[in-house]
Structure 1
C-alpha cells in the first residue's frame, strides 16, 4: 500500500458501515479498520477491502497502522475518549485527521493543536458529518452577509432515529448543564432554561431547546462571532426542565452503565426507508448591536444519510490534495457553499 490510502476506523459501527457502503458504491479504495478483529475482518471480507485491526490504547500499534495511510476518517466514539489518541497518532504518522463528532470539547481540543497539525503538514478537521457541516455552512453564509454580527443563533429541527453510538455519546451529557458561547467564552447555562419557538418556512412552529452543540466551538472559529447559541428538538422542553432535578442521578456511573446497556439491547438506528424519508432543517440568524439581522434556511437529508455523503465528499477532497495544514472547520476551508455540493441540500434567504 502507498501513502495514498483512506482508512475508516470504527468501520463496523452504524455510521462507519454506511460510509464503507458508499465508498464501495463509488468504487473507491479504502481500509476497513477497528479494534474488534472478528467484526473488522468480516466487514473487510464483505467489501473485499484490506483490514487493519488495532486499539487506540496502543499508541505504537496505532502509529504503525497509519504509516501507509493518507487520510483517517475516524468513526469510533465516544470521541471524548477516542479522538485524542487518534489525533496523536495522526500527527506522528503524518496522516490527515477527519471525524464525525458533534462534541464541542473535541472540536476545541483539535483546534488547540493547530500548530502541531501545521508542523506535521496535515489537516485536522473534526465534524465532517451532519455535525457540523450544515450548521457550519449556514453560519458562515449569514455571517458573510453581516460582517458586523455580534450574535449568532442556530435552530435545528431533525427527524429520524439516532444511531446507537450517537445515543451513547448523548448519554455522557445527561444531567450536565447546557453551553453557549458568550463574549467569546464557552459558559454553562441551566439545561432547559433557554427555549425558543421558531417558525419555519412551511409556517410550522417548532419549540426548540438550547443544546451544547458543536457549533459553539466550530462556528466561533468559522465566523469569529462572540455570542453563539444552538437550539434543537433533541428533547422536549418538559424533559429539559426535569433534567435539572434528575441530573445527579443520571450522572452516576450505575445509571450511565444501565442506560448504555439499554441502548445496546434496544437501539439499532434508522433503516434505509427512514433515512430516505426524513430530513433536517436549519435556520441561522446573525445580528449585530444596531439591530441589523440576516437569516437563512437550509434543508438537508436525514442526519445519517447526510453524514455519509459529506464525510466521503470531504475525505475524497483531502485525498486529492484539496486541503491546508492545520485545524479547520468544514466551512472555513471549503466555504459556505460546501453543503450545496451534497445532494438533497436546499438553502434560501429569509
Structure 2
C-alpha cells in the first residue's frame, strides 16, 4: 500500500483535510515542524506522524513516502525546500497554494521532475482547481481563443493561513498575462462589470494564480483574474497601491501577521455550508466571439478539502508520467464537476454585432 503525507496539519486547512481523509478511510502520515503541535491531532485520529523542518535533511524523512500534500504556508517560503526534498526522495508533490511565484517556479522544474518520474502539481485546492477547470472547459469550447478572463464570487470566511499569505503579497500590486508574458498592473487599475452567477457586479482584477496556471493549461496568451469589488473599494485599492513600499516592508508584515494570530480564526462548518462559490470564465477569439462558462461549487475551504483528496486518491492508484502539471492538466475540465457540492458547467455564446 502506498504511503502519503499531509505536511502542515496544525494549520486550519491542513487539519480540515486530515479529518476528512480519515472520514474517507484514508490513513495519511501527519507532518509538520513541531511534534508537540502535531501529536494531539495524530493521537485523536490514530495516525502516524513525523516532525521535521524543511531543511537539507528533509528528503531523508520522505524516503518511504510516495506522495506529499503540502499545506504549510506561506508557500513562497516553504514550497521550494519541500519540492527539493521531494525530488531527491522521488516523492510526488502537491500543494494548495495560490501564489503565482510558486506556480512559475514549480513549472520551471518540469524537465527535472520528468527525469525523476516525480509529479509536481501546485494549486490542488480552491486555488486553482475550479478556475483551472473552467479555463480548460473554455479552451475546449473555443480552441482559437486569444483572451481569457477568470474569476469567482463567494461569501466564504478566511483562515489565518490565507490571511498571512495575503499579507506576504502586500505592496506587490496585481498581475495579468499579456501576449504570454506575466506583467504587473497597479492594484485597482483593472475594473469591469461581471455576472459571476448571481447577478452583475462591479469587479476588480487580482493577482490570482490562474494568470500563471491557465496559460500552461490552455496556451491562451492573454489572461486576467477577477473578484467582485464595489467601485468605492476599487478606488480605495488604487490609493492603497500608492502605499505599496510601506506595506511591503518586513516590519509592517510582521506587525500584521501578529494581529492575525491574535484575532483571525477560520470559518466554522455552518459558515462553510452556507457560502458556496460561483466560478466564472470568459474566452474571446480573434473574430470577437465570446464564450462564457459558469459553475457553482462548494465553499472555498470545502472545495480545497474535496479537490486535494480527490487528486491524492487518483495519484495513489493511477500511473501518471512525471513532470509539472496543473490540476486540469492532470484530470481534465470535468475534475471540478466530479467534486461534492459542485454543479455542472453552463456555457453561453455571444456573437459580435
TM-score (norm 1): 0.96
Q: Structure 1, residues 324-349: CA drift from partner, whole Å, max 9, x if none? A: 21001011120000001101111211
Among 188, 191, 194, the residue aligned to 2:187: 191
- 1:248 corresponds in structure 2 to 245
Aligned-residue offset at 1:9? 0.2
Q: Structure 1, residues 187-216: CA drift from partner, whole Å, max 9, x if none? A: 0111100011112444x2222211111101
Among 287, 290, 311, the residue aligned to 1:290: 287
CA contact (8 A) 2:128 2:210 kept: yes
Which range moved further: 244-253 or 188-197?
Answer: 244-253
Structure 1, unmatched stretches of 5+, are: none
Q: Structure 1, residues 85-110: CA drift from partner, whole Å, max 9, x if none? A: 00100000000000000011101111
The 1-side partners of 2:72 and 2:215 are apart by 25
1:229 aligns with 2:227: no
Among 99, 102, 120, the residue aligned to 2:98: 102
TM-score (norm 2): 0.95
The 1-side partners of 2:297 and 2:196 are apart by 14
Aligned-residue offset at 1:293? 1.6
- 1:50 corresponds in structure 2 to 48
Aligned CA RMSD, in angstroms, stands at 1.3
The 2-side partners of 1:161 and 1:234 are apart by 16
CA contact (8 A) 1:209 1:240 kept: no
- 1:156 corresponds in structure 2 to 152
The 2-side partners of 1:49 and 1:246 are apart by 46
The 1-side partners of 2:236 and 2:306 are apart by 32
Structure 2, unmatched stretches of 5+, are: 349-353
Matches within 5 A, 1:118-129: 118-129=114-125
Among 30, 33, 36, the residue aligned to 1:32: 30
Q: Count the aligned residue pairs.
A: 345
CA contact (8 A) 1:7 1:31 kept: yes
- 1:328 corresponds in structure 2 to 325
- 1:272 corresponds in structure 2 to 269
Aligned-residue offset at 1:234? 7.1
Secondary structure of the structure 2 residue equivalent to 1:213: coil
CA contact (8 A) 1:8 1:72 kept: yes
The 2-side partners of 1:187 and 1:245 are apart by 18
Among 89, 92, 99, the residue aligned to 1:93: 89
Secondary structure of the structure 1 residue equivalent to 2:288: coil
Among 12, 15, 18, the residue aligned to 1:17: 15
- 2:337 corresponds in structure 1 to 340
Secondary structure of the structure 2 residue equivalent to 1:102: coil
- 1:131 corresponds in structure 2 to 127
Secondary structure of the structure 2 residue equivalent to 1:107: helix
- 2:351 corresponds in structure 1 to none
Matches within 5 A, 1:192-207: 192-202=188-198, 204-207=199-202
Secondary structure of the structure 2 residue equivalent to 1:7: strand
1:220 aligns with 2:224: no
Aligned-residue offset at 1:157? 1.0
Q: 1:277 to 1:145 in 2, by over 3 A?
A: same
CA contact (8 A) 1:155 1:208 kept: no
The 1-side partners of 2:321 and 2:276 are apart by 31
Q: Structure 1, residues 276-331: CA drift from partner, whole Å, max 9, x if none? A: 11011111111012112211101111100100000000011111124321001011
CA contact (8 A) 1:149 1:286 kept: yes
CA contact (8 A) 1:124 1:327 kept: yes
Q: Structure 1, residues 126-158: CA drift from partner, whole Å, max 9, x if none? A: 000000000000110011111111100112112
1:209 aligns with 2:204: yes
CA contact (8 A) 1:317 1:323 kept: no
